[in-house]
Amino acid sequence: MLELAGVTRDYGSGVVALRDVSLTVERGELVGIVGPSGSGKSTLLHVAGVLDRPTAGRVTVAGHDTARLSDRQLSALRAQHIGFVFQQFHLAPRVPALDNVADGLLYSGVRRAERRERAAQALHRVDLGHRLGHAPHEMSGGERQRVAIARAIVSEPEILYADEPTGNLDSVAGDLVMGILSQLRDAGTTVVIITHDREIAAMLPRQITLRDGRIVPAQVPA
């Protein structure tokens, strides 16, 4: 589903955020990208999510070599194959959850009635079928994050990137969100979680650790 081969991201002036990073994520995996602030996690998210191009190396997503794609084709790749969940939710204020989620299909060519129907289905998947008409300010932080997840999955992406998805939540809401992400993986979605939280990382079946823009080799038990 995702392959990075020798990826470097150099911003110039001595700022190298990623250094010769190579990794593979198989279809249906649940993987954590783990590391402290400044380790290169956000840059890796942007490169792997085709929001940014690497300075060197190859990025392949869902079988597509992104170096061969135009900016317009990259936008189509994101729309058709990739979903994003961010720590800050990024929901439109005072807009009902149903329409916040439906807006995730705004540029897909789907008619409004179908967008809203699919949005309702996505909200039911995250156990918010009873909150369709509620705006973000009427919801808890955990509910807002679940709306954000519903918006990310309404287009049925093959791979979902979750950037610090529990960062603004209490432990109960965080556990609920992690449970939903695990359920999505069980249903066939590839899920990549970017986090600095070691407790969250420990819940995941596979961890990839970044430090100073490089992957830290996994330690083999003695």
Q: Is residue 68 part of a domain?
A: yes
Q: How many H helices and E strands in the chain?
A: 7, 10
What's the domain count of the chain?
A: 1
Examine residue 221 and state whether it is found in any structural domain, yes or no.
Answer: no
Residue 222 counted as domain residue? no
Q: Which of 134, 200, 212, 154 is nearest to 173 (CA)?
A: 200
- With contact defined as beta carbons under 8 Å apart, do 146 and 127 qualify? yes
In a domain, 94, yes or no: yes
Mean per-residue pLDDT for 135-150? 96
Average pLDDT, the chain: 94
In a domain, 112, yes or no: yes
Q: Give the residue numbers spanning the domain of 36.
A: 2-216
Structure confidence by residue, pLDDT tens digits, 69-110: 999 999 999 988 999 998 888 999 999 999 999 998 987 788
Mean pLDDT over residues 59-73, rounded?
Answer: 95
CATH number at residue 23: 3.40.50.300
Residues 187-200 pLDDT 10s: 999 999 999 998 89
Query: Which residues, in sequence order, are bridge partners of residue 16?
Result: 10
Q: Is the pTM higher than 0.85?
A: yes
Whether 118 maps to a domain, the answer reads yes
Query: Which pLDDT tens digit goes with each residue over 199-209?
Result: 899 999 999 99
pLDDT of residue 60: 97
